[in-house]
């Protein structure tokens, strides 16, 4: 049997930093967050929606318990696609010297 004394007080049970957690899946859910509530961004939200949510969260001054909007926008929000390569970089292939008959047989 569990003993009394290891539970949280009822006033703060289920809260994060004293605030009521609210699940956020898109920008409309973000707009529903009021004072005294903290957002939890769903892990199934993709990159494009995360950028939109992060921009709106900074404007609305909404806090998240599992998501840092400013840090995320610094890394991903500048519109850079990770698959693109810089245009000014030249890629060179290494030149292989042709071996003569004597050099080719010397390694045996």
Domain boundaries, the chain: 9-77
Tell me the pLDDT tens digit for each residue of 12-63.
999 999 999 999 999 999 999 999 999 999 999 999 999 999 999 999 999 9
Contact 51, 33 (CB under 8 A): no
What pLDDT does residue 102 have? 63
Beta bridge partners of 64: 39
Alpha-carbon distances of 72 from 60, 69, 107, rounded to whole Å: 16, 5, 54
Taken in order 76, 82, 84, 89, is the CA torsion positive or negative?
positive
CA atoms within 13 A on the CB side of 51: 10
- Residue 101 pLDDT level (bands cut at 50, 70, 90): low
For residue 98, give the H/E element and its range: none
Residue 93 has pLDDT above 80, yes or no: no
Of the two residues 34 and 80, the one the predictor is more confident about is 34
Share of the chain above pLDDT 70, in %: 70
What pLDDT does residue 5 have? 78
**Cβ-Cβ contacts under 8 Å for 52 (sequence gap 6 or more):** 26, 27
What token pair was written down for 79? 């519109």
What pLDDT does residue 40 have? 97
Tell me how far apart the alpha carbons of residues 37 and 47 are, in angstroms, rounded to a whole number: 24
Of the two residues 101 and 75, the one the predictor is more confident about is 75
What pLDDT does residue 7 have? 82
């Amino acid at each position: 049997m569990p003993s009394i004394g290891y539970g949280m007080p009822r006033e703060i049970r289920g809260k994060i930093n004293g605030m009521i957690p609210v699940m956020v899946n898109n920008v409309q859910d973000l707009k529903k967050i009021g004072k005294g509530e903290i957002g939890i961004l769903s892990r199934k939200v993709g990159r494009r929606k995360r950028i939109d949510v992060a921009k709106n969260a900074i404007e609305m001054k909404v806090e998240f318990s599992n998501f840092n909007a400013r840090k995320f926008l610094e890394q991903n929000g500048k519109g850079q696609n990770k698959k693109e390569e810089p245009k000014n970089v030249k890629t060179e292939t290494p030149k292989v010297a042709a071996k003569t008959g004597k050099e080719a047989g010397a390694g045996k």
